[in-house]
Amino acid sequence: MDTKEIAMKIAAAASDKKATDILLLNMEGLSPVTDYYVICSASNSMLVKTIADNIEDKMGEDGVFPTHKEGYADARWILLDYGDVVAHIFLEEERNFYNLEQLWADAPSEAFVENEA
């Protein structure tokens, strides 16, 4: 899988568990650390964990595992680092506070839309 496919698979896994406002930020050429950020929101901490767990499960089915993860204890902002793609699962108010979209406003972005087919 290329990095865009990984980002899309992460977004789809988040969508499966009712993540909202799923956004892909193309970080290529802007960050030496990663190629994509996948950012999404959840309405409560339990849902933040559920979304993160589903992302790990779905990626694990393809033999792709995070190199680093953090935030499970508080479940206000869970980060799953897959190297070239980093998933950020936010509690809604945390996402508004940290506003990564504004921080990386130069990054081309696209909203994730689940295919109906």
- The per-residue pLDDT for range 33-81, each reduced to its tens digit, is 999 999 999 999 999 999 999 999 999 999 999 999 999 999 999 999 9
In angstroms, rounded to a whole number, what is the distance separating the alpha carbons of residues 69 and 87?
Answer: 9
| 35 domain residue, yes or no | yes
Give mean pLDDT, residues 5-25. 97
Determine contact, residues 76/94, Cβ cutoff 8 Å: yes
Q: What is the domain range of residue 28?
A: 3-111
DSSP 32: S
d(C-alpha 89, C-alpha 45), whole Å? 10
Instruction: Classify residue 37: in a domain, yes or no.
Output: yes
Could you tell me where the beta strands, DSSP code E, fall in the chain?
Answer: 20-26, 36-42, 68-70, 77-81, 85-91, 109-111
Number of continuous H segments (helices) and E segments (strands) in the chain: 4, 6
**Cα distance between residue 11 and residue 111, in whole Å:** 10
Instruction: Provide the token pair at 9.
Output: 């698979």
Q: What is the mean pLDDT of the chain?
A: 94
**Residue 117 within any structural domain of the chain:** no
Confidence of residue 117 (pLDDT cuts 50, 70, 90): very low
For the entire predicted model, the pTM comes to: 0.93
Q: What is the CATH number of the domain that holds 40?
A: 3.30.460.10
Q: Is 56 part of any domain?
A: yes
Number of domains in the chain: 1
Backbone angles phi, psi at 27, to 5 degrees: -95, 5
Residue 99 belongs to a domain: yes
Q: Is residue 38 part of a domain?
A: yes
Instruction: Indicate whether 116 pLDDT > 50.
Output: no
Is 116 inside any structural domain? Answer: no
Model confidence at 115, pLDDT cuts 50, 70, 90, reads low
d(CA 114, CA 117): 9
Average pLDDT over residues 28-34: 91
Written as one letter, the residue type at 25 is: L
Q: Which of 5-14, 53-62, 105-114 has the lowest mean pLDDT?
A: 105-114
pLDDT band at 85 (very low <50, low <70, confident <90, very high): very high
Does residue 26 sit within a domain? yes
